[in-house]
Amino acid sequence: MTYRQEPWLMRTYAGHTNPQAANALFRTNLAKGQTGLSVAFDLPTQTGYDSDDPMAIGEVGKVGVPICHIADMEMLFTDIPLAQMNTSMTINATAAWLLALYIATAERQGANPRELRGTTQNDVLKEFLARGTHIFPPEPSLQLTADTVAYTVENMPKWNPVNICSYHLQEAGATPVQELAFTLANAFAVLDRVRTRPGVSMPNVVGQLSFFVNAGIRFIEEMCKLKAFVRLWDRHTRERYAIEDATKRRFRYGVQVNSLGLTAQQPENNVQRIVLEMLAVVLSKEARARSVQLPAWNEALGLPRPWDQQWSLRIQQVVAHETDILDYDGDIFEGSTIIEAKVASLMRDAEAELARLQQIGDAAETIEVMKRALVASHAERQRRIEQGDLTVVGVNKFTEHEPSPLVTGEADSILRVDPEAERRQIERLQAFRSARNSTEANIALAALRDAATHGSNIMPASIRAAHAGVTTGEWAATLRKVLGEYRAPTGLQGVTFSSDAASLAALRARVNVVSKALGHPLRLLVAKPGLDGHSNGAEQVAVRAKEAGLEVIYEGIRLTPEQIVASAADEDVDAIGLSIHSGSHMTLVPRITTLLRERGLGTVPVFLGGIIPEADQQELRRAGVTGIYTPGQATLTAIINDIVETTARTSSGSAGRT
């Protein structure tokens, strides 16, 4: 069958364990018909730590592939000619470094960097808001992004140096209007820094900028949102940046459909959710995605297996090659008054929200305003689900079900990373350090430090450092010393709470009773150990606990077990809630409970939330965890009620520890 239009680029988001295992997965997926790569990096790589750094304990290879140096990158792309590949890399704070490693690897393959095609996500502002892999403060982070943009526009004309992400904003609770406005505000923040660079061609900059968008289950509204994106981007790049060439103003985006709506209950329902969400970004020619990657049906349970990723790829292939959606030259929704009215409404409301953000000016203050709005929107979404106003099949309606054969024997229904993989990765790293020319590495690091100190473009020095054998941790540590580090706002300050619901009113009354027995307000420490930056769950627990009248201590993401236990002691807390979504729970949680016992806090109940396979839960309880909650297992109010009742029992009416 001959298509009038070519299918979009088909990817699966992949990478785990070590570069060798990830390479095997890449080559397998390409052999199955995947037409591009989308690389997932582990959290130490994303946050600028080597695999043997104490901060990386338990996190190596869990949610992506560890890349510590150029030999790792070469292994990752063994037998994959980069000159012929289109590679997307989900990397942000360390994007300049991973791009440098990619360029150096391509050069060692004999490729000309000007021919390289692909994308670095490189949207650090959304990391402050939704994903948590930031390192440096907002302004230096934006300057690093501007460095990569300026470098690639001049030296890599086929590369997308930035992929502004609305995806993670929706995952953090953004409404369609917020998603439009916040994403455009982030894009303008990048473009405003780049246009101050001498000699930069803004038409080429805008022409190489791309977006990474989310599509939720309300697929008509989501399609209209994409149409609004297309038209708003065209309008603002013409008016704000004077881009006259319409081809440069084109809104170019890739998409992964919504993961927030995937459920652990009746997970087979996720398949139809994924298909419907995909339709939002491929049906309309005006707003059709240039590349699509789909989550797997079982991502709410754990790390998908290669078979699960194959299923997601086959969904794309069926839609592209078996249906007729690519047979029509025009947009099949053209002339629809309903669609046009919805698009116009989204554009109008997004413009108003964008105008409010643009008036703020300061990047850090804008981030704080957007973060509060996201936490509040997510809290409202969760409240609507729990009250039955927003239906989620299998969660709050149609909950009766037959056992799913897809998850029979949970240990076989998700991919489990070899627990020895971290040790072997560390051994390879240490062997690499021992074998490299340390003098060349030190010279390269000095040049990197000088570039950062004097405000020179960081990319040439980073590429030299990659060839010299500098490691990810060394690159980031050098810049940390010059640029500093940053802790993003939690988003809890200023969040207003809903009016009393019956269940919350009863819980507040119970909290008052328990607090009087304790002699002080019931204190809950909410903490995220390790490098996992997905803070949505922790934030929503904190919001609901504050609504219920608890005193909540929440200091944000990326805490060591030692910091968490010290905070528990200093604040004299009555309970601890931990949130982990990276798979590092079997390393970090037992360390926390051990430290609590050593500090005489062994009676403080510990609650754990996240993607925790059933096979791990019994061992965690033996390690001292009181309660474990996986996605969708209980309402937030029920979780807080458990914490309150457990605290009441364990404290036995005491006035707290001294």
Identified catalytic residue from 49, 151, 167, 253: 167
528 is catalytic: yes
Tell which residue, 51, 36, 233, 46, has the closest CA to residue 123: 46
Residues 6+ apart with CB under 8 A from 652: none
534 is catalytic: yes
Distance in angstroms (rounded) separating the CA atoms of residues 595 and 597: 5
Distance in angstroms (rounded) separating the CA atoms of residues 71 and 255: 30
Strand-pair category, 210-213 with 253-256: parallel
- The total of other beta-carbon atoms located within 10 Å of residue 236's CB is 19
Q: What is the CA radius of gyration of the chain?
A: 24
Identified catalytic residue from 528, 546, 581, 585: 528
Identified catalytic residue from 16, 134, 236, 534: 534
Tell which residue, 514, 553, 520, has the closest CA to residue 642: 514
Residues 6+ apart with CB under 8 A from 300: 262, 263, 264, 267, 270, 611, 631, 632
Ramachandran assignment for 42, one of left (phi > 0), alpha (psi -120 to 50 degrees), beta (any other)? beta
In this structure, what DSSP letter does residue 364 have?
H
In this structure, what DSSP letter does residue 572 have?
T
13 is catalytic: yes
Distance in angstroms (rounded) separating the CA atoms of residues 493 and 368: 9
Identified catalytic residue from 42, 53, 123, 532: 532
Identified catalytic residue from 168, 227, 248, 378: 168
Distance in angstroms (rounded) separating the CA atoms of residues 170 and 161: 22
With H, G, I as helix, E, B as strand and everything else as coil, classify residue 99.
helix
- CA dist list (Å): 507 to 414, 499, 573, 642: 37, 14, 19, 10
**Catalytic positions, please?**
13, 167-168, 528, 532, 534
